Amino acid sequence: MRVLVVGAGGVGAAIASIAARRSFFDELVIADVDLVRAQRAADRSGDTRRISSARVDATDSSDVVALARQCNADVIVNACDPRFNPPIFDAAFDAGCTYLDMAMHMSRPHPTDPYNRTGVMLGDEQFATSAAWAERGQLALCGIGIEPGMSDVFARYAADHLFSRIDQIGVRDGADLRIDGYLFAPTFSIWTTIEECLNPPIIWERERGWFTTRPFSEPEMFEFPDGIGRVECVNVEHEEVLLIPRWVECNRVTFKYGLGEEFIDVLETLHKLGLDGKVPVRVRDIEVAPRDMVAAALPNPAELGHRMNGRTCAGTWVTGTGVDGRRREVYLYHVVDNGWTMREYGHQAVVWQTAINPVIALELLAAGTWQGVGVLGPEAFPAEPYLDLVGVHGVPWHLDERVPRAPSPHDASAPAPS
């Protein structure tokens, strides 16, 4: 397998370092508009025989196609912010490559009723092309990071092995990470964080389909395992809510993020001041998008690993009826300690935890264990071989059996067990 990774930021560089320890690929080229950054990521992987660097302009589909053909790529992995998705996605199609991304095409809120009705949803424009990809015999595997990604695989595993009926699937993300020396610093791309946190969150219910709510709605205290403890989580726009109902039978799907009161205050302030805007404004003789300015003013999350302490937890909470006919509640999760990822790989925990997932998927595709055509999510594939490979990267996944809560009103219309 020959792989082209577009984007040499934190996640792209971590993909190269993680893949370097596996034997499933013949060549991996990591490309970026900044050739020096791409070269640094390739060198950092430690595999100078199979991993090399190149320059590419991710905003120019023809440039990506030309590089893919030059290096005879079988697969293009999009490791850029989702604003760059369309040209990379189109380039993979035009070049005849399999495509992977970790975040789907961005949404556009409903123009008149954004907090009740959906507009263009995450990934809509990709799913609209699924028939064309399938007709060509090509696969676009979308949302294959940690969330979405492993969280979706957990949902598929629960449906196949743990439950006869699923009432609710709730992806819950929390952490106890601290960054020394900064009053405010994100652990992931602030550009993407602003996008997903300030857009209207989407919820899916069997009786209503997809609908929206206000940012940071439905706060709840969720108990995270391994000593992280109780963290308040709120609704955030995320791909799992768009992906899981397409392949997993259930009654309700949500995504909630443990942002913390201070982080929410910062995001709301940015919104009030218009600093989340994507349309350029003129500042003297320069035009700059306010959000780009905020991103430039904050530290690069990929370079904060040496200042970070603590763990990050990604997981999927599932309730319903177990295979034994009794009520069941579980949390399937993956916890990563920043100290471990820095010692073992030299990458901070959040980007490392994201990056292992496309590497696992590539290995399964290379072996033919995962096969498919069209635009698909992780739920479209069997979960067991994926989860079997998680632990080989040094951090296993876990299942936390919980005391079932009383049924909620959302459970009433769930389908009967088959």
Mean pLDDT of 298-323: 93
Assign 223 to helix, strand or coil.
Answer: strand
Tell me the β-bridge partners of 98. 75
Side-chain-side CA neighbours of residue 341 (13 Å) = 31
Q: With 50 as the cut, is the pLDDT of residue 169 above it?
A: yes
> What H or E segment, with its residue span, contains residue 363?
helix 349-367
Instruction: Using pLDDT thresholds of 50, 70 and 90, give the confidence band for residue 183.
Output: confident
pLDDT band for position 415 (cuts 50, 70, 90): very low
- Percent of the chain exceeding pLDDT 90 equals 87
pLDDT band at 203 (very low <50, low <70, confident <90, very high): very high
pLDDT tens digit sequence for 101-138? 999 999 999 999 999 999 999 999 999 999 999 999 99
pLDDT at res. 251:
98
Q: Pull the structure tokens for residue 101.
A: 């991304």
Q: Rounded to whole angstroms, how far apart are CA atoms 273 and 275? A: 5
Average pLDDT estimate for 377-403: 97
Q: Which residues contact 410 (CB under 8 A, 6 or more apart)?
A: 167, 168, 205, 251, 252
Number of CB atoms found within 10 A of residue 405's CB? 10
pLDDT at 407: 72
How do residues 27-39 score in pLDDT, each as one tens digit? 999 999 999 999 9
Length in residues, the chain:
418
Name the more confident of 11 and 196. 11
How far apart CA 289 and CA 274 sit, in angstroms, is 10
Sorted by where each starts, the structural domains of the chain and their CATH numbers stand as 2-101 (3.40.50.720), 150-349+394-411 (3.30.360.10)
Distance of CA 110 to the CA centre of its chain: 23
Is the confidence at residue 164, as pLDDT, over 60?
A: yes
**Nearest one of 214, 261, 260, 266 to 237, comparing CA atoms:** 214
Mean pLDDT of the chain: 94
Beta strands 2-6; 27-32: pairing state: parallel
pLDDT, residue 410, reads: 65
Q: What's residue 416's pLDDT?
A: 38
